[in-house]
Each structure stands twice: as C-alpha cells, then as structure tokens.
Amino acid sequence: MKGEQKDKLLESYRQGKSSLEEEKMLREGNRDINAPEAEWLRFADQNRKEAPFNLEKEIIHALKKTRGAKRRLYTLLSSSAAIVIIVVSLTLLKPWKRTEMEYERKVALYQEALEMVESAEPESINKEILYEDEIIIIYLETENE
C-alpha cells in the first residue's frame, strides 16, 4: 500500500467515514504505519474474537423470553386491577338495590302518566281542519271554555 493511499485511508478512518474493507486494509498494512491509530489497530487485530455461530438466535430467544415474561406480568396486573375495580364498584354502587328503586320509580311515573291521560277530557277539545290533502290532514286544536 502506498504512503499517499495509507494517509487517505487513515484520514477517512479518523473522520469515521471508512468502510469495513478499508479498515481491514489498514489492519493488514498497519505494520509500517507511524500514526497513533496504528497501536489501536494492532491491539484490535490481536484481541479480535469471532461471534458464536448461533449468537443471533440466542439473542432473539432471550428477547422473546423477556417479552413473554413482561406480557404475562402485564396480563396478571391488568386482570388483578379489573377484579379490584369490579369488587369496589359492586360494593359501593350496589346495583341490585338500585334496580329495585328504579322499578318502583318507574311504576310511580307510569301511574302518574295514566292519571294525566285519564283526566284529559276529549270533549273539551275542538278539532278544526287546517289543511287537507290526499296524503295528510292537519288539524288545529282549540280548547272549549
């Protein structure tokens, strides 16, 4: 590797713009480089370790395992919170008593409505035809005094 080419590679390495192939070329030709990076490249070359064959599968498996545990915990907490809310609402609101009271209220309102309808006197209302057509008849009601 020529000196000018090495300087160019070192400059791109310092700027963080070098590719993996260029870094490999620097590591292979670092014996005759007199730059501060040469020591680092030699150190990295000597202590280089290969990743295990199934590292990606192990990482994915570990992530799925922790996600599954988190999901089970979330489900357990959500279920527990729902049960607490149901118990508290049943205790405080007592819906079985409310329906009995609502039923009694409905009966009273129904009786009141019946009394109002029965008290209306149909004879005291005059109906006068305001408009008549084949489809519709409009009445004008007035009360007799």
pLDDT tens, residue by residue, 103-135: 888 888 889 888 877 666 656 667 788 889 988
CA distance 89 to 134: 58
What pLDDT shows up at residue 20? 78
**124 DSSP 8-state letter:** G
* Better-predicted residue by pLDDT, 20 or 27: 20
Assigned token pair, 16: 């963080």
Give φ, ψ of 8 to 5 degrees: -65, -45
pLDDT tens, residue by residue, 53-105: 888 888 888 888 887 778 888 889 999 999 999 888 888 877 666 666 678 88
Cβ pair 144, 126 in contact under 8 A? yes
Pairing of strands 137-143, 125-132: antiparallel
Please determine, for residue 51, whether its predicted confidence score (pLDDT) is greater than 80: no
Please determine, for residue 1, whether its predicted confidence score (pLDDT) is greater than 60: no
CA distance 89 to 92: 5
CA distance 137 to 140: 10
